[in-house]
Amino acid sequence: MWVMKVGGGCLRNADGLRQLPVVLRTAYPDAVRLLVVSAIGKTTDALMRLIEAAGRSDYEQAKALYISLQKFHEMLIREVFPESSAENLIHRLEQRYWSPLWQRVQALAHLSEEGGPATDAVLVFGELISSEIVHAYLESQGFVTAWIDARRLIVTDGHYPEPGVLLGPSQANVDAQLVPLFRTQKLIITQGYIASDLRRRSTTLGREGSDYSAALFANMLNAQGMIAWKDVGRLYSADPNRHPDAQPLTTLSYSQAAEMTYYGAQVLHPRTLRPLRDKRIPLYVCPYFDPASEGTLITDEWVEDLPPIHTQQRGLILIEVESIDLSPLSLMDILREMEEEGMQIFFTQGGIRTAAFAVKAPQEVIERWRAAAPVSLAIQVRQPVTLYTILYPNETLRLPNGEALYFQRLPQRIHWLAYEG
């Protein structure tokens, strides 16, 4: 049993879709496989813009975005299917997904329906439509497949925007509904990113959550391994677009990969690794457009002598705190209160009376925390800033020269904060 995840960047156009049969015929073609599919291209971003337009009752903009998104998918279908098959698929998608999607958008625009459930009820259409297209295309290429809605399988607590997954009910659903399909089918298609809550409302797993979905399925199916097919292809010691001398990383441990993703490496979703580590399931990050070449293997084995690894976490908010009554700061109390408000904290540096934090959180969350802070604290909020991190630094590295707002050297790690340029 293998779980394979294909990202939206891989399926961004007709060539990407045509590559999928090549990938499936190359990687473990005789094995039982679960294929987890993301929304095509930038569909989720487009749906978010559609939601924003509907939320401000901009009907014309919402309609234009909806039509553009529908036409994009129709053009893709017409490129890869014969005319009669294309028309049948387009008609089926119109009835099953596009019409209900527009009804959801109208509810947002005219009924002032807001909040997480209403947003997620729109976002799920990206993966549903993508997986239907993939299912139809693979069958047209001779694959025998089955399709299942991931909302019937993964159950969450419904919290927004990143809910917790309820593993007990999810495992029960997988055992009752997914496992029996493998008795007659060797290739099953489902969706990443989407799930449901206990009230059977559609939910999502947070942005870039398809990797996490695939890891959850691998865990619940006790898979032999998981392959994350990426257009980038493998993990590097730095972003190759910014660092021409970036080195490919052939092997990493779960903890090393988790640290990279936490500090900004974009290839994996940060939550992906834990379900795999819990059952020691190896993760392969492989090049989608060159499936026979080497990727990156992530296991529980620590890797020595890694090159310096450069990461960036952009779009953070810098919060500076000062005690104005001369009493010592309690960093632990401040951190606990920030976390209780839902802030994600990436950098902390403090002294007796001053401290700095780089966080990611909605502005309203920061203002709520700020309003509840003691009057003895002076709080300044600056944004945006970028956290630069070098893991496993060596003595030859060039360090920031003047542009760093804060600098921190720790064992096997260097951090600094700078304003975004």
**Which is nearest to 201 in space by CA: 269, 110, 115?**
115
Q: Do domains 2-299 and 309-419 have the same CATH topology?
A: no
Q: Is 9 exposed, middle or buried (0-12, 13-18, 19+ CB in 10 A)?
A: middle
Q: Tell me the fold of 309-419.
A: VC0802-like (3.30.2130)
Per-residue pLDDT of the chain (421 residues), as tens digits, is 999 999 999 999 999 999 999 999 999 999 999 999 999 999 999 999 999 999 888 989 999 999 999 999 999 999 999 999 999 999 999 999 999 999 999 888 876 555 678 899 999 999 999 999 999 999 999 999 999 999 999 999 988 877 899 999 999 999 999 999 999 999 999 999 999 999 999 999 987 789 999 999 999 999 999 999 998 778 999 988 888 889 999 999 999 999 998 898 877 877 899 999 999 999 999 999 999 999 999 999 999 989 999 999 999 999 999 999 888 998 999 999 999 998 999 999 998 999 999 999 989 999 999 999 989 999 999 889 999 999 999 877 677 766 789 999 988 899 999 998 6
Name 414's Cβ contacts closer than 8 Å, sequence gap at least 6: 389, 390, 393, 397, 399, 407, 408
**Which is nearest to 129 in space by CA: 162, 105, 94, 155?**
94
- Dihedral (CA of 163, 167, 172, 178) sign: positive
For the whole model, what pTM was predicted?
A: 0.91
- Distance between CA atoms of 287 and 265, rounded to whole angstroms? 16
Helix 59-80 and helix 83-93: axis angle, to 10°? Answer: 150
- Distance between CA atoms of 131 and 148, rounded to whole angstroms? 9
Fill in the DSSP letter of residue 96.
I
- Distance between CA atoms of 151 and 173, rounded to whole angstroms? 10
Domain map (residue ranges) of the chain: 2-299, 309-419
Name 417's Cβ contacts closer than 8 Å, sequence gap at least 6: 316, 318, 347, 356, 358, 385, 386, 387, 388, 404, 405, 406
What stretches of 134-249 adopt beta strand conformation (E)?
146-147, 155-156, 187-191, 194-197, 202-204, 225-230, 235-236, 248-249
Length of the chain: 421
CATH class of this structure's domain 2-299:
alpha beta
